[in-house]
């Protein structure tokens, strides 16, 4: 049975694993990818619990699209880079050391590597767009505004990733994501009545006949 308590635990642990996958750069590459995938799956299950508890399934759908893109993007980029590396090695078979002429196809290999980076960046950017939609809805439903801030920072970090400053922003967002999941309440708070925040002031309520001033 879905509960916010399970979402809090699974989401918090998943967020920690996702952060560790980027910090533990000295471990084998496959281990880092494994931590990332496990963390993303745990967060996906946590958001599924939130969606079921609140009755808002788009919360889960947007998170699912985000996780899929976050996994597919690096896989596609890795395949493209592997193909470029194989092509790069083949260009040196007929290369004579000491010559100043670049090997045949060298520029094409560089272009393929750049293409892999662009594919990865686009997938990450679109992933964070879906993530922000999911986190904005969670912030509204559970009244945990740090989810809204986290989603915004992930989007800004992904957009500025090509100028490297996005790495720092994504790191801050990953930390806030841990705090956000562990800030989930055990129960959904009752909805507050809507309040007027714009437009002309509401007219005063009419006085009862006994209190109406007489001429």
Q: What is the pLDDT of residues 53-65, one digit of tens each?
A: 999 999 999 999 9
DSSP string of 59-105?
HHHHHHHHHHHHHHHHHHHHHHHHHHHHHHHHHTTTPPTT--SPPTT
Q: Is the pTM of this model over 0.85?
A: no
Neighbours of 153 (CB within 10 A): 22
User: How far is CA 142 from each of CA 24, 44, 48, 111, rounded to the nearest angstrom?
Assistant: 32, 17, 14, 46
Of residues 155 and 114, the one with the higher pLDDT is 155
Q: CA–CA separation, 1 vs 175, rounded Å?
A: 28
Q: CA–CA separation, 39 vs 22, rounded Å?
A: 11
Q: Which of 72-81, 104-113, 137-146 reaches the highest mean pLDDT?
A: 137-146
Provide the mean pLDDT of the chain.
Answer: 82
According to the model, what pLDDT value does residue 192 have?
43
Calculate mean pLDDT across residues 131-150: 95
Residue 135 pLDDT greater than 90, yes or no: yes
Q: CA–CA separation, 153 vs 215, rounded Å?
A: 63
User: How confident is the model over 163-202, as pLDDT tens digits?
Assistant: 889 999 999 999 999 999 999 998 876 654 444 445 565 5
Q: 59: which 2 tokens? A: 């919360």
Three-state SS at 135: helix
**Looking at 14-28, 154-168, 192-206, which range is the least confident one?**
192-206
CB-based contacts of 42, cutoff 8 Å, min separation 6? 10, 11, 13, 14, 17
Of residues 27 and 123, the one with the higher pLDDT is 123
Confidence of residue 141 (pLDDT cuts 50, 70, 90): very high
Q: Which residue has 């699209």 as its token pair?
A: 65
Cβ-contact 72, 33 below 8 angstroms: no
According to the model, what pLDDT value does residue 144 have?
93
Each as own residue / partner, the long-range contacts of residues 58-61 (CB below 8 Å, 24 or more positions apart, any chain) are 58/133, 58/134, 58/137, 59/134, 59/137, 59/138, 59/141, 60/134
According to the model, what pLDDT value does residue 86 have?
77
Give the residue among 45, 44, 51 at the shortest CA–CA distance from 67: 44
């Amino acid at each position: 049975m879905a509960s916010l308590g399970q979402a809090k635990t699974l989401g918090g642990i998943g967020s920690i694993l996702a952060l560790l996958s980027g910090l533990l750069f000295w471990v084998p590459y496959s281990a880092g990818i494994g931590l990332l995938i496990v963390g993303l799956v745990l967060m996906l299950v946590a958001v599924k619990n939130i969606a079921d508890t609140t009755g808002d399934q788009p919360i889960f759908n947007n998170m699912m699209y985000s996780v899929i893109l976050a996994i597919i993007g690096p896989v596609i980029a890795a395949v493209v880079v592997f193909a470029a590396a194989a092509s790069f090695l083949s260009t040196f078979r007929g290369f004579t050391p000491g010559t100043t002429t670049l090997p045949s196809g060298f520029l094409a290999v560089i272009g393929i590597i750049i293409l892999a980076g662009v594919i990865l960046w686009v997938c990450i950017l679109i992933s964070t767009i879906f993530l922000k939609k999911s986190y904005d809805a969670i912030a509204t439903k559970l009244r945990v505004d740090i989810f809204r801030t986290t989603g915004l920072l992930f989007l800004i970090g992904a957009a500025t990733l090509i100028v490297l400053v996005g790495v720092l922003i994504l790191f801050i967002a990953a930390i806030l994501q841990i705090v956000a999941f562990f800030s989930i309440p055990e129960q959904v708070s009752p909805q507050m009545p809507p309040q007027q925040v714009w437009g002309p002031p509401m007219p005063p309520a009419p006085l009862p006949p006994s209190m109406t001033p007489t001429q």
